[in-house]
Amino acid sequence: MYVTIPTEKEALGRQIKLGTKPQAAGGATFKAGAYLYFEGDPVERLYAVKSGVLRLTRLLLDGRRQVIAFGYPGDIVGFPSDGLHHTDCDVLVETRVVAYPRSVLENPKADPLLHQELLQAALREIAAMQDHFLMLGRKSAAERVASFLHALSERVGEDFGPCRRVSLPMSRVDIADFLGLTTETVSRSLTQMRKANVIAINNIHTVVILRPEALLGMSEGHGILAA
Amino acid sequence: MYVTIPTEKEALGRQIKLGTKPQAAGGATFKAGAYLYFEGDPVERLYAVKSGVLRLTRLLLDGRRQVIAFGYPGDIVGFPSDGLHHTDCDVLVETRVVAYPRSVLENPKADPLLHQELLQAALREIAAMQDHFLMLGRKSAAERVASFLHALSERVGEDFGPCRRVSLPMSRVDIADFLGLTTETVSRSLTQMRKANVIAINNIHTVVILRPEALLGMSEGHGILAA
DNA sequence: CGGGTTCTTGACTATCTTCAACGAAAGTGG
DNA sequence: CCACTTTCGTTGAAGATAGTCAAGAACCCG
């Protein structure tokens, strides 16, 4: 899951339907904290996330970390490059996946329909990452956090009275490492939005979006509008 | 072309050989300043860069710009997502490309070998972009500029006596927009490296790398080592 | 050679990070 | 089940890095 405003809307109508042969390919459930794979591992399968949340990370030698993406239902994770995984992948919330052998992606003949689905998923991934570049390269801290909440709201938010509720299963460190910030800055940005009545923070891991338009505005770089 | 240290070495030995049916697919030359496509255009062809340099950009509503990638020989540009281009693409230095119809990527049967090559290029693109995330999210200005020069040196540098020479056909603004910095900061970082005798700046668009190890060190976050 | 653009440099400012302390939440063991 | 410990999140103050604004130098093009 990447976080951007412009193209996210396009993703809404389009739920990937990869369940064509679930039992044949094999489904599995992973508990929180489990690793699906590590950077450098040879790729054996791709995973279609059915429920739960995954975390894809990369590390720099000195320990600096970048969260590359969060894997939400509908996402495909584990694309190989030169046959290898290029991130670590672990589980934030117990996750059900359907696994497909790498050959389905790389050999069209085995299952043409599925091959096509996985290819399209890879292409969407490229476009989503391009959007994410804009965020990391060109957005302020407040804009990043707002973009993040907005995208999550669109993607996995639930209705909550007249508002929208978003669950944040990941830690503040994860959010920071995803957005290229520090936890302190993430925290301050959230506080700022709370004080402007854009969001309410029920529980540390649950945010209610009180004024979606204001949030969207912030994510696009208009300052904070008071309630 | 993305700029990162860890996986770049893997790219060295592997020159994509897409010239199987060049005349059938059609080659073309574009002059500096020409646009190959715009964001939002329907994708009709993919382009394999044979010579020259392309620039892929995305814009934010308020004019902020991100250079997504530079297209160097060996790169494939123009991957569709939902059938559309998600960046603008224009020419920095007169460029020769070989164009392939989109159907080659999306329909494996038309040309299985070429389909395979394009698919692998897309997968490498994903891995390269993941590396670039680390740079935009977690590296300092000096590290980014050093990483950029290092990657260019590996990829398109020429031997120049005992050293290596790199041509920078793009403007400082382009470099800044690629690295998520300002031109001033790029300029200062280059000056800093010049004063530390890591590089020499012959002509504005030509850098000589005097101490490659020092450059690599800087790109990985060890400070500047004086000569 | 001249005019316009691009690049560099300097001084100042803003934003984000760092360091530090405190409070809240969650996990552990009696 | 509660006290204890540890982790995680928030807040504040100080500091650093990169950005902004402005001027001058180098370069490019006609």
How near does any CA of chain B get to the CA of A161, in Å? Answer: 32
Decide if pLDDT at A20 tops 90: no
Q: How far is the CA of B68 from the C1' of C1 (A)?
A: 40
Using an 8 Å CB-CB cutoff, list chain A residues near B137. Answer: 66, 136, 177, 179-180
So where are chain A's domains?
8-136, 140-219
Average pLDDT rounded to a whole number, residues B48-57? 97
Beta-carbon separation of B133 and A129 below 8 A: yes
Q: What is the tens place of the pLDDT at every residue in B99-131?
A: 999 999 999 999 999 999 999 999 999 999 999
DSSP SS3 for A5: coil
Interface membership of A64 toward B (CB under 8 Å):
yes
Residue in chain B closest to A61 (alpha carbons) equals B220
Q: What is the tens place of the pLDDT at every residue in A101-128?
A: 999 999 999 999 999 999 999 999 999 9
Decide if pLDDT at A225 tops 80: no
DSSP SS3 for B27: strand
Q: Give A11's contacts (C-beta < 8 A, 6+ positions apart).
A: A124, A155
Which residue, B114, B129, B214, is CA-closest to B163? Answer: B214
Q: Which amino acid is at B161?
A: G
Which band of pLDDT confidence, cut at 50, 70 and 90, is reported for residue B35? very high
Q: What is the tens place of the pLDDT at every residue in A59-102?
A: 998 989 999 999 999 999 999 999 999 999 999 999 999 999 99
**Number of Cβ within a 10 Å radius of residue B61:** 9
pLDDT at B27: 87
Using an 8 Å CB-CB cutoff, list chain B residues near A140. Answer: none
Percent of chain A with pLDDT over 90: 83
Q: What is the tens place of the pLDDT at every residue in A126-138?
A: 999 999 999 999 9
B122 sits in which H/E element:
helix B112-138
Q: Where are the beta strands (DSSP E) in chain A?
A: 27-30, 35-37, 45-59, 65-71, 76-77, 88-101, 158-160, 163-167, 199-203, 206-209
Cα Rg of chain A, angstroms: 18
Beta-carbon separation of A108 and B108 below 8 A: yes
CB A8 within 8 A of CB A155: yes
Q: Give the span between the Cα atoms of B30 and A116, in whole angstroms.
A: 32
CB B132 within 8 A of CB A133: yes
How near does any CA of chain B get to the CA of A221, in Å? Answer: 8
Residue in chain B closest to A222 (alpha carbons) equals B62
pLDDT at A141: 98
Beta-carbon separation of B66 and A109 below 8 A: no
Architecture of domain A140-219: Orthogonal Bundle (1.10)
Structure tokens at B88: 């603008």
Q: Which range has the worst mean pLDDT, A18-22, A155-159, B35-39, B204-208?
A: A18-22
pTM of the full predicted structure? 0.90
Neighbour-count burial of B128, counting CB atoms closer than 10 A to its CB (0-12 exposed, 13-18 middle, 19+ buried): buried
Architecture of domain A8-136: Sandwich (2.60)
| Mutation for A interface: B126, B147, B148, B183, most A CBs within 10 A | B126
Beta-carbon separation of B130 and A87 below 8 A: yes
Which band of pLDDT confidence, cut at 50, 70 and 90, is reported for residue B26? low
Q: What is the tens place of the pLDDT at every residue in B59-80?
A: 998 989 999 999 999 999 999 9
Q: Looking at chain A from residue 71 to 130, which residues have their Cβ under 8 Å from any Cβ of chain B? A: 79-82, 86-87, 105-106, 108-109, 112, 115-116, 119, 122-130
Q: Facing residues of B42 across strands? A: B84
